[in-house]
Amino acid sequence: EGAEPPAAGEERAVTAPLVGPPGPPKAAVPERETWTRQMDFIMSCVGFAVGLGNVWRFPYLCYKNGGGVFLIPYLLIVFVGGIPVFFLEVALGQFMKQGGIAAWNIAPLFKGLGLASMVIVFFCNSYYIMILVWGLFYLVHSLTDTLPWATCGHAWNTEQCAELFHLELCRNGSANRSPVIEFWENKVLRLSGDLSEPGEMNWQMILCLVTTWVVVYFCIWKGVKSTGKIVYFTALFPYVVLILLLVHGVTLPGALGGIVYYLKPDWSKLAEAQVWIDAGTQIFFSYAIGLGALTALGSYNRFHNNCYRDAYILAVINSSTSFFAGFVVFSVLGFMASEQGVDISKVAESGPGLAFIAYPKAVTLMPLSPLWATLFFFMLLVLGLDSQFVGVEGFITGILDLFPQPGAGSLRRELTAALCCIVCCLIDLSMVTQGGMYVFQLFDNYSASGITLLWQAFWECVVIAWVYGADRFMDDVARMIGYRPLPFMKWCWAVVTPLVCVGIFVFHVVNYKPLTYNKTYVYPWWGDAIGWVLALSSMLCIPCTVLYKLLRCKGSLREVRAARRGPSCLRPQPISAILVPVPLSVPSPSPAKSRPHPCFTPSLT
């Protein structure tokens, strides 16, 4: 690509491998499927990266960490952590034309990075869908004249249920309990008292679970051609609902007070380490880094697509959505605090507490409450749906690329997708039991947690910058987009981003506390042990693969070290250098001792 024509009198050359593989020639690999339009890629990335975390986590963190001041560490880490790793993953997939596993053939010794990302995204696919299941359950129950969580007197309510009360009374252990909380705990979760008490399965939740997985399957079973069409709706519709909710929210009494709480700066917060840690963790979550799905999406790009420009566009969309969602959330929370006569700090929530307790409670105080509940939960469902099926798409792409079968046709893909959905659905059955919420929290806090994503992002940057070579990768990017990105990107991969990851990772480890639910139930030691098994199952893929490949390599460690002095060592040649121009009369292969060591040579397979 980009080679100049030979000068007059110069011997004509062809591109051929220096050493051909033994045996019969392999069947030609069919050209990789690509997006119908480049906007399909943009919409898919928006759908995957812009998810529930932008709506239910960022606004709370912004309020908690100094209001508008939180934007300073947030935007700083966006530029030194979020965008560089986001761009790295997309560019790697686009250059290698492979999914999350096979793309790391660029540095075969560290192919465990691809395996680790597949483990993380598999766990994430397994538990994330439960949020959609709960959202679907609430959506169905919103299609009534009176919202069931607005009143007492139902079969799931207790004698302590009281419709008129202040929210802080229930949080402080008062005898009164909100019908909203009783609907969530007694009707939706049917919560047991302990992780060791799974209890019975909820057949209504099983029905919602199966329905959700069927929808996900039919969104991705035909590949990116169909996925690229569906995301236009699933990525754009939530913005329509967010705008409607904001227009309605700002007209409610007390909305302005909520927005002021959201943005009011507290400059003293900048001196607290927790503020910077929250900013970094939120970025790695919301940018969907380390899951391998961005690499899979990038692999369907055309080779000369400007992925550098796309990375900045998607970063602006992602962070702007988070900031905009804060106005929607806090206008409603301000109204809720005003109606109940309490400080907004008493009603501010994040995560499931916002989606299934605080917001449903606020909706019951509005006119036409079933309408706004339906809109909110439908938005929640659509917002999470595209993140879910793009994550499943990334996992399937990685598996299919790991075991390529040219000419296998679409049936192989459809069966793989079906098997993936069925296995994940079976795992999810443990989360529709009475102890399911405890299982969900184990997956949420360990399997795809900040620790695992930071570990993954650290090694991705180290391998590209110091093993493959940051300058070489910049050259590869230049071949694709026609120019070299700013040197700032290279220095982020080599130094800045790994240091950011290490700093946040160490902070998480030093400040580790046993997992709790609802600030009251402390998980038993064996529950935390299961959580660490989930976390280490992905983290150990990287060192274990390195050790395995070193032990499998032929020769002693001295010979391996000697191979590192050759042209293809721990800093492998670019993929373009594997095939080099040679005369038509190809010389016979050189002795085996002069060949690059296979552990350190980039591989196309």
Token reading at 60: 């709370």
C-alpha angle with apex 576: 575 to 579, nearest 5 degrees? 100
383 annotated ligand-binding residue: yes
318 annotated ligand-binding residue: yes
CB atoms within 10 A of CB 243: 12
User: What is d(CA 199, CA 272) in angstroms, rounded to the nearest whole number?
Assistant: 43
* Separate counts of helices (H) and strands (E) for the chain: 26, 4
Would strands 516-517 and 521-522 be described as parallel, antiparallel, or unpaired?
antiparallel
386 annotated ligand-binding residue: yes
Contact 74, 278 (CB under 8 A): no
**Cross-strand pairs, 38:** none
Map residue 568 onto helix, strand or coil. Answer: coil
471 annotated ligand-binding residue: no
Token reading at 261: 């709480």
CA end-to-end span of the chain: 20
**DSSP state letter for 145:** S
286 annotated ligand-binding residue: yes
128 Cα distance to chain centroid: 10
Residues 6+ apart with CB under 8 A from 556: none
Question: How far apart, in Å, are the Cα atoms of 592 and each of 229, 555, 589?
Answer: 51, 12, 8
E strands, 105-163, are none
268 annotated ligand-binding residue: no
Contact 102, 120 (CB under 8 A): no
As a three-state string, the secondary structure of 280-302 is HHHHHHHCCCCCCHHHHHHHCCC
- Residue list, annotated binding site for Na(+): 47, 49-50, 54, 286, 318, 383, 386-387
- Residue list, annotated binding site: 47, 49-50, 54, 286, 318, 383, 386-387
